[in-house]
Chains A and B, each alone.
Chain A
């Protein structure tokens, strides 16, 4: 595929935007989580640093940087240091294949005497529009388990070890249900490319001869089960309550990151919120119509792109709030119940669900 300097600059711009968003998820979500939990538990929450405690995240960041970075004497030093990097890499890179706005046409224009975008050029708001998009997501997501497992093992601490082992067992178990639930959305789109999945959802279902409902997968009865399985498995995959056994405070101190302090701990912290953001973006893309704005045909211009990108962000933000909401509403399950639920309930359900969705598609009901 031939490419020129304009492509490279556009790619750098896209990567910059996505990276900026991903890195800012953590401070924003840390604030939302604290204030959200306070709201749910009927207490004020952090409200001293800045208006509504908004600057609390900056105070936290300063604290993380200034704390002493301790490496336990018993730890395997190399792996102990590398583990946070293993943890954050998949979280940062997965988002690259998710489309985050309507593609728009860049018109030819002259800047500093040079003509750029000759003959017009499409701006695809996605870092890498590969034809195996969803497989890249699962490939990178399946690597995130190494961060937790390595951290648990390298700490030479039994609580960390248990946390790491539980995390790997849990992620292996729920990955299956997660992947199988995503298959239904891919079947409907007939493609593994995530932008195709979104394009398929931009139309309408017409009910009773006149009522137009956006053709988002979540509004089609065949996909309800897939949506629920994918969301629940997504909670397990990101180690969030009610499935946060990797760091169950009551039993394991802090699980796999018990021994970590300072910025090494902050990397795990950031990785968790980024994984949550990626999972929300995936749920949005697969089931909530991606960047589609209902009842509006987005024009292929900059403003159409901006509106759709903002709408995508709103949907992702809503899903992330659901993550927080559930965390402070539902108590933690027992570990054996979690494993039983994964293997004996969600996995068979996901397999039956694929047959169901395939039957719906064969009948042309989607």
Chain B
């Protein structure tokens, strides 16, 4: 009973803050709302007996990624400028795309996911079992992802390095 109340409360929190993210015009408010939404999602993981995933959800998404988002938004210092109205074609494509996705989602959930009982028995998601799974069964995809991330880091370094080089050249010209 208590779990039900907690579930519906935090489900509502997650949905409401997710709506604020897309509807609010201020980017900082949007970013903070996304954090709140992630936090409510973490509560869902706790309700599913997966505290490890809940902690990781908060550490990785709310604590690391969204801090960087907020950081960039604050550094860009976006004003309270109103955006230009979008083109009707854009609006049409946006609405139809979203509607099609929603219909597909509801169809999928109704057909495959809903009303199916969860497997009985203990659901193991502690650090040890996840670590063993990652480093035994899924070692190849795991290492592949790490190479992908490395490529992204090298790419970012290359791009920022090139930009810094250009700036140094501009500075040299101004000095001349």
Chain A residues in the interface with B (C-beta under 8 A): 76, 78-79, 130-132, 135-136, 138-143, 145-146, 149-150, 152-153, 161, 164-165, 168-169, 171-172, 175, 192
Contact = CB atoms under 8 A, between A and B. Distances in A.
Contacts of B74: 149, 152-153, 161, 164-165, 168
B48 interface: no
Interface in B18-42: 26, 28-29, 32, 35, 42
A86 to B, nearest CB: 8
A79 B29 contact: yes
Given A143-B58, A153-B28, A172-B64, A135 B71 contact: no
A149 B63 CA distance: 13
Closest 9 pairs (CB-CB, A-B): A142-B63, A135-B55, A139-B58, A139-B59, A132-B55, A139-B55, A132-B51, A132-B52, A153-B74
Nearest to B29: A79
Contacts of A140: 58
A142 B64 contact: yes
A79 B28 CA distance: 9
B13 interface: no
Contact of B56 (A135, A143, A149): A135
B59 A142 contact: yes
B58 A146 contact: no
A149 B70 contact: yes
26 contacts: A76-B26, A131-B51, A132-B52, A132-B55, A132-B126, A135-B52, A135-B59, A138-B59, A138-B63, A139-B59, A139-B62, A139-B63, A142-B59, A142-B63, A145-B67, A146-B35, A149-B70, A149-B71, A150-B32, A152-B74, A153-B28, A165-B71, A168-B74, A171-B67, A172-B67, A192-B127
Nearest to B58: A139
A46 to B, nearest CB: 37
B103 interface: no
A38 to B, nearest CB: 37
A143 B62 CA distance: 7
Nearest to A130: B51
A79 B59 contact: no
Contacts of B68: 172
In this complex, which of A139, A142, A152 has the most chain B Cβ atoms within 10 angstroms of its Cβ? A139
B63 A168 contact: no
Nearest to B127: A192
In this complex, which of B26, B42, B67 has the most chain A Cβ atoms within 10 angstroms of its Cβ? B67
Given A79-B32, A146-B32, A168 B59 contact: no
B51 A142 contact: no
A150 B36 CA distance: 14
B67 A142 contact: yes
Given A131-B126, A145-B67, A146-B35, A165 B75 contact: yes
Contacts of A150: 28, 32
A136 B64 CA distance: 14
Contact of A168 (B29, B70, B127): B70
Given A135-B59, A138-B59, A146 B51 contact: no
B127 A142 contact: no
Interface in B100-121: none
Contacts of B62: 139, 142-143
Nearest to B80: A76
Nearest to B73: A153
Nearest to A145: B67
A172 B54 CA distance: 20
B48 to A, nearest CB: 14
A164 B71 CA distance: 9
Nearest to B63: A142
A136 B63 CA distance: 11
Contacts of B29: 78-79
Contacts of B71: 149, 165, 168-169, 172
B127 A143 contact: no
A105 B75 CA distance: 55
Given A139-B63, A145-B67, A172-B71, 16 more contacts: A79-B28, A132-B54, A132-B126, A136-B51, A139-B42, A139-B55, A139-B59, A142-B62, A142-B64, A143-B63, A145-B63, A149-B70, A165-B75, A168-B74, A169-B71, A172-B64
B125 to A, nearest CB: 10
A323 B43 CA distance: 34
Nearest to B42: A139
B159 to A, nearest CB: 18
B67 A146 contact: yes
Nearest to A142: B63
Contacts of B127: 132, 135, 192
A165 B75 CA distance: 8
B171 to A, nearest CB: 18
